[in-house]
């Protein structure tokens, strides 16, 4: 069974903390999720400082020839 979403978590520059945790999420066709649902799901599994502060839904995650997510291409979204 495939997961209803794929995601990438990255750190973006922050003046006070150095970096902040953010996430880009790609939903599979027909899947639905809200920011609140995602936050609730990860908040029970991660330490508070690891929970992304911002979530962005994308149509597709940028990938290289090896199918790895290109995180630097996601940074401008935040």
| pLDDT (tens digit per residue) in 38-68 | 898 899 999 999 999 999 999 999 999 999 9
In angstroms, the CA 12 to CA 21 distance is: 7
Radius of gyration of the chain (CA): 13
Give residue 2's pLDDT. Answer: 53
- Output the pTM of the full model: 0.81
Provide the β-strand partners of residue 57. Answer: 25
Give residue 3's pLDDT. Answer: 61
Q: What is the pLDDT of residues 18-41, one digit of tens each?
A: 999 999 999 988 888 888 988 988
In angstroms, the CA 52 to CA 42 distance is: 9
Give residue 1's pLDDT. Answer: 39
């Amino acid at each position: 069974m495939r997961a209803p979403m794929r995601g990438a978590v990255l750190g973006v520059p922050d003046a006070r903390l150095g970096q902040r945790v953010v996430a880009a999420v790609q939903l599979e066709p027909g899947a639905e999720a809200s920011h609140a649902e995602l936050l609730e799901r990860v908040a029970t599994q991660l330490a508070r400082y690891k929970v992304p502060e911002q979530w962005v839904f994308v149509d597709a995650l940028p990938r290289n020839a090896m199918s790895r997510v290109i995180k630097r291409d996601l940074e401008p979204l935040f």
